[in-house]
Amino acid sequence: MKSKRLIGAFALIVAGIVFGALLVSGFGLVRPGVADIRLGSSTPPVSLDADATSFSKAFIEVAQKVTPEIVRIDVVSETKENPHQNFFFFFKDFPQSPQEEQGSGSGIIISPDGYIVTNNHVVDNATKVTVTLNDKRTFDAKVIGTDPLTDLAVIKINANNLPAAYLGDSDALKVGQWVMAIGNPLALTSTVTAGIVSAKGRGQLGLIHNRYGVEDYIQTDAAINPGNSGGALVDLSGAVIGVNSAIATGGTGTYIGYGFAIPINLVKSVVKDLIAHGKVTRGYIGIEISNVNDALAKSLGMDKPEGVMVQKLVDGGSAASAGIKEGDVILKVDGHEVNQPNELQSYIAGKTAGTKVDLTIFRNGNIIDKTVTLKAREEGTTTQPVSLKDNSNNNNNNAETSASFDTIGLSVRNLTSSEKSSYNVDNGVMITDVKPFSAAADQLLAKGMVIVDANRKKVDDVKDMQKAIKEKEGSAVLLKVQDSQGNTRFVGLEIPKNK
């Protein structure tokens, strides 16, 4: 009997131990108190050094200081079609009538008394503009002036003691430099994103549909979305170095990798004119220009591709008056090198009519200097080819004569009298075929174009063309071509050596 009691007592002790273990181990039967809960590791995996902490702090301080300088802009505008489709920035609210649309963008406070810079496409055709500050105060705004050629605008609100942004120096910006984009994307107030400067001087994006439009953008991979239009691109000192204007979307309408901002140095010159005059009294050189590629440089006798080529002159324009000629290559303006058309455009866009600029030019193997006094552009002025005549009575007895240049993929024939009249030329040969992937195709030559000059000499017929090509074997030939609309341009074609 006594042994049974001992066994029973032992069994109770074991059961108690097991039950206690169950309570301690959990199994969800007993919940621990909040004070007893310990989550995660007790130390971070990496201890930030002073440099890393300082780097992070720079972003934090810029966001805190600059965000109050950025405003939200709500607009009601009249439109027949979407005027902002090329910029992918205007955030639309639905529903809307066919006569009006409502949207929002961003702006940067540039003076304590209420001047704000934004994009032209944000306030274009606006019937009502409302500005909301970072502190949630709302004001009606007046459009002071717009400049469609740079996609900039200035608006004004009746307010004082506003936090004005510091406008930096975009010329000092370096590719690879950290930047932050601050604005109101997708109707979300005060959004900050970060990235680097991916490239400078981006042009020929087709965002501004005007031959005088200035496209000289800062490219960044800081996330920019619809509604960021007119917001700030800033460096880590908090200086505004660009006004966000456009994004590459791949058809999605939202950010997929990089966006574009207008350099602040261009913004400053445009904004001053808009505030003072309500419009930009911009000066113009009066030329159409293009890149100088390797083949064109060789055809001109240049050591390397540099500068921009004068393709056409405005009749009576500043350049023509100063003795600039078609085929000249502009190497510098006021001592600044220019190697892309938009670099020259952007520089001149910051100058007013009456300003003098000094051009360094390559012409026929020589370096010459020309001083050009910028003129205001007269509406309706167009560039014109030089020395075009109508010789419709000049018969060509060898109209069927033709030639093919297989090494460059080009075929030509003599012009007929009627074609000379139609193209308004007194000489030239007609391009009849361009082989795909050939040297001629690479230079965008096409069937139906007329070659009027070769190596700065008139081409009267196929024989002249054959002679010009033969003279440049192993080098490059300079051609002046014209399309059926009267547009002319210079083209360089490398001619392989005949084996």
Pairing of strands 100-109, 115-118: antiparallel
Q: Which amino acid is at 294?
A: D
Residues in Cβ contact with 101 at an 8 Å cutoff, skipping those fewer than 6 apart: 76, 77, 79, 82, 92
Question: Tokens in use for 423?
Answer: 């193209």
Catalytic residue among 121, 299, 453, 464: 121
Is position 411 annotated as part of the catalytic site? no
Give CB contacts under 8 A, 24+ apart, made by 313-317.
313/286, 313/287, 313/383, 313/384, 313/386, 314/284, 314/286, 314/287, 314/381, 314/382, 314/383, 314/384, 315/381, 315/383, 315/384, 316/286, 317/284, 317/285, 317/286, 317/287, 317/375, 317/381
Residues in Cβ contact with 432 at an 8 Å cutoff, skipping those fewer than 6 apart: 402, 411, 412, 413, 447
Categorise residue 454: left if φ over 0, alpha if ψ from -120 to 50, beta otherwise.
beta
Question: Tokens in use for 204?
Answer: 């020929």
Q: Kindly list the distances between the CA atom of residue 326 and the CA atoms of 192, 218, 231, 364, 451, in Å, as whole numbers in the listed order.
A: 47, 30, 40, 12, 15
Catalytic residue among 74, 124, 151, 221: 151
Is position 171 annotated as part of the catalytic site? no
Residue 467: its H or E element: helix 462-471
Is position 151 annotated as part of the catalytic site? yes
Catalytic residue among 229, 245, 346, 438: 229
Placement of tokens 């033709």 in the chain: 402
Q: Are 153 and 275 in contact (CB under 8 A)?
A: no
Give the active site residues.
121, 151, 229
